[in-house]
């Protein structure tokens, strides 16, 4: 096992700018609020925050069916909460009404951004006035309108612009209207617009999360010097040869897109080059870890530095897709997994005993490993950047790999964008509640 190679991605040796997204966001919140007159701030009718909701065009029900879309979830809400999101019709549907004889309770299939607003309403009695603006309308104005004066555009009067596209994915696509010819203009004008209007989630950390390379090197360092555990070897693709028996994954991508596994026919050099011919896009070559498919991987959710939920994602051989399940606070210890691997194939449900021992929280080993890795990452990111987005929220994907006769935890990936990556399959309501608390703290607390 080797942890260091010269071709491995490295953090640039330069003076790195201080990341202070949230202080900047709060400053704009307070400056904006202070500049509004009492009449203007109550003109919404009920004094609530005015939210301009821009649904991601890649997630609309006419593009991806709402029932099969991981960005939508089932939830129980009240009739009062339904009135908040009513203007966003088409991004939720009422599945069942009059539940258990309670005319006030409804089961809905709902966009998770809208559910986040419902949670803030429920937890803090905040009210929102939602106006839905289609991405096409916003994009047309952004590319040709006066972006230094948002009051002239479709988001005029809004206290907050919510949603939009996910920058950790390949956002240069025909659905978004962003092309190889206009993406630089789009990025520049979006930055100008963001300097005049509050946008959630913040754009800068979303772009940072798409790069991946720096965090990979930090994870390598932590596995060598802090947790002292094995980790799959990673390096940047040399651009000339297709590696044999390795995983290829690309930056600026998510949800299994731009990933080539050694179990599938290998891509050509020309194919790889064609998929990363935009600035900043790079291929990362990583060791193949077969236990990821055999056992799955844990999804460890952090909000404000605390673990709020753990789920597990497993691979379905029949559909060649991943599905998530909640844990029952019990899982096999690593030495049990190692013994079973030596004995033969493992069933997908092996990690979670059907009748776990009473009073023993076997997740404690996983949680301890995750916390040590988290502390190491945040410490190094603060050292390089002056701050760490991880201290606000992240999802840590933890797998199990073998080294010799033993099994070890390793961090496969860390998601930091509050978009598809974090809101994907297995995002429990406990995570949503934690994010609602964070959102309220950042956007509504007094200076």
Q: What is the 3-state secondary structure (H, E, C) of 26-54?
A: HHHHHHHHHHCCHHHHCCCCCCCEEEEEE
* pLDDT score of 385 more than 50: yes
- pLDDT-derived band at 345 (thresholds 50, 70, 90) equals low
- Domain residue extents for the chain: 44-201, 233-287, 291-433
Q: Is the predicted pLDDT of residue 144 greater than 90, yes or no? A: yes
Mean pLDDT of 291-312: 87
Confidence of residue 369 (pLDDT cuts 50, 70, 90): very high
Average pLDDT of span 290-318: 84
**Model pLDDT for residues 318-340, shown as the tens digit of each residue:** 666 666 666 655 677 787 778 87
pLDDT score for 390: 86
Model confidence at 358, pLDDT cuts 50, 70, 90, reads very low
Output the CA angle 36-37-38, nearest 5 degrees.
Answer: 120
Is the model's pLDDT at 410 over the cut of 90?
Answer: yes
Give the residue-averaged pLDDT of 422-430.
65
The tens digit of pLDDT for each residue in 212-237 reads 888 899 999 999 999 999 999 999 99
CA distances from 23 to 27, 200, 249, 389 (A): 6, 14, 33, 12
Q: Which of 180-189, 340-349, 378-387 reaches the highest mean pLDDT?
A: 180-189
β partners of residue 245: none
pTM above 0.85, yes or no: no
- Considering only 270-284, 313-327, 407-421, which range has the smallest mean pLDDT? 313-327
Is it the case that residue 254 has pLDDT exceeding 60? yes
Stated as kind and residue range, the H or E segment containing 393 is strand 393-403
Taking a C-beta distance cutoff of 8 angstroms, is the pair 117, 84 a contact?
yes
CA dist 248 and 62 (Å) reads 32
Instruction: Give yes or no for a contact between 150 and 50, defined as CB atoms under 8 angstroms apart.
Output: no
Question: What pLDDT score does 256 carry?
Answer: 72
> Which range in 17-21, 66-70, 227-231, 417-421 is most confidently predicted, on average pLDDT?
227-231
Say what the pLDDT of residue 92 is: 85
Is the pLDDT score of 176 beyond 60? yes
**In 3D, which of 150, 133, 33, 43 has the Cα closest to residue 91?**
133
The alpha-carbon radius of gyration of the chain (Å, integer) is 23
Token pair recorded at residue 110: 């709902």
Rounded distance, CA 311 to CA 329, Å?
Answer: 9
Mean pLDDT (whole number) for 95-124: 83
SS3 content of the chain, % helix, strand, coil (to 5): 35, 20, 40
Q: Is the pLDDT of residue 188 over 60?
A: yes
Confirm if 163 and 71 have CB atoms less than 8 A apart: no
How does residue 384 score in pLDDT terms, banded at 50, 70 and 90?
confident
Task: Provide the token pair at 426.
Answer: 């297995």
Read off the pLDDT band of 113 (50, 70, 90): confident
Contacts for 132-137: CB closer than 8 Å, 24+ residues apart: 132/53, 132/54, 132/55, 132/87, 132/88, 132/90, 132/91, 133/52, 133/53, 133/54, 134/54, 134/55, 134/57, 135/54, 135/55, 135/56, 135/57, 135/164, 135/165, 135/176, 135/177, 136/57, 136/177
Q: What is the pLDDT of residue 12?
A: 35
Residue 276: C-alpha distances to residues 10, 269, 270, 273, 283 (Å): 19, 11, 10, 5, 7
Rounded-to-integer distance, Cα 194 and Cα 92, Å: 27
Residue 407 near residue 337 (C-beta atoms within 8 A)? yes
- pLDDT at 246 > cutoff 60: yes
- Give the integer Cα–Cα distance in Å for 69 and 418: 16
pLDDT for res 288: 94
Q: What is the pLDDT of residues 14-60, one digit of tens each?
A: 333 333 433 443 344 334 333 333 333 333 445 678 889 998 888 76
DSSP 8-class letter at 243: P
């Amino acid at each position: 096992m080797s942890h260091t190679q010269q071709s491995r991605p490295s953090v640039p040796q330069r003076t790195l700018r201080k990341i202070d997204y949230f202080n900047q966001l709060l400053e704009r919140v307070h400056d904006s609020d202070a500049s509004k007159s009492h009449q203007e701030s109550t003109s919404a009718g009920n004094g609530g925050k005015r939210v301009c909701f821009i649904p991601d065009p890649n997630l609309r029900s006419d593009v991806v069916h709402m029932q099969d879309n991981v960005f939508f979830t089932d939830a129980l809400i009240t009739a009062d909460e339904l009135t908040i999101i009513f203007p966003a019709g088409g991004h939720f549907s009422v599945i069942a009404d009059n539940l258990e004889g309670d005319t006030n309770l409804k089961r809905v299939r709902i966009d998770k951004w809208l559910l986040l607003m419902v949670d803030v309403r429920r937890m803090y009695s905040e009210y929102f006035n939602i106006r839905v603006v289609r991405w096409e309308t916003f994009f047309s104005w952004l590319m040709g309108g006066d972006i230094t004066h948002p009051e002239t555009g479709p988001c005029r009067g809004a206290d907050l612009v919510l949603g939009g596209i996910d920058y950790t994915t390949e956002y240069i696509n025909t659905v978004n209207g962003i092309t190889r010819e206009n993406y630089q203009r789009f990025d520049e004008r979006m930055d100008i617009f963001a300097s005049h209007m509050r946008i959630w989630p913040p754009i800068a950390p979303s772009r940072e999360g798409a790069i991946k390379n720096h965090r990979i090197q930090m994870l390598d360092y932590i596995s060598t010097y802090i947790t002292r555990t094995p980790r799959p070897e990673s390096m940047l693709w040399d651009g000339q040869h297709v590696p044999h028996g390795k995983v290829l994954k690309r930056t600026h991508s998510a949800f299994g897109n731009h990933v080539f596994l050694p179990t599938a026919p290998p891509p050509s050099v020309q194919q790889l080059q064609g998929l990363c011919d935009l600035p900043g896009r790079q291929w990362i070559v990583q060791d193949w870890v077969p236990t990821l498919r055999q056992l799955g991987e844990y999804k460890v959710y952090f909000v404000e530095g605390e673990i709020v939920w753990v789920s597990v994602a497993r691979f379905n051989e029949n559909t060649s897709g991943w599905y998530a399940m909640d844990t029952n606070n019990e899982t096999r210890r690593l030495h049990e997994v190692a013994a079973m691997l030596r004995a033969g194939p493992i069933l997908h449900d092996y990690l979670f005993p059907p009748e776990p021992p009473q009073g023993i929280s076997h997740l404690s080993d996983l949680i301890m490993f995750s916390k040590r890795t988290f502390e190491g990452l945040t410490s190094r990111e603060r050292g390089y950047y002056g701050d760490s987005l991880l201290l606000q929220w992240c999802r840590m994907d933890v797998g199990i790999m073998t080294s010799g006769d033993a099994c070890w935890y390793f961090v496969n990936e860390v998601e930091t964008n509050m978009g598809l990556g974090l809101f994907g399959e297995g995002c429990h309501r406990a995570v949503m509640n934690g994010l609602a608390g964070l959102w309220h703290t950042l956007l509504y607390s007094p200076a």
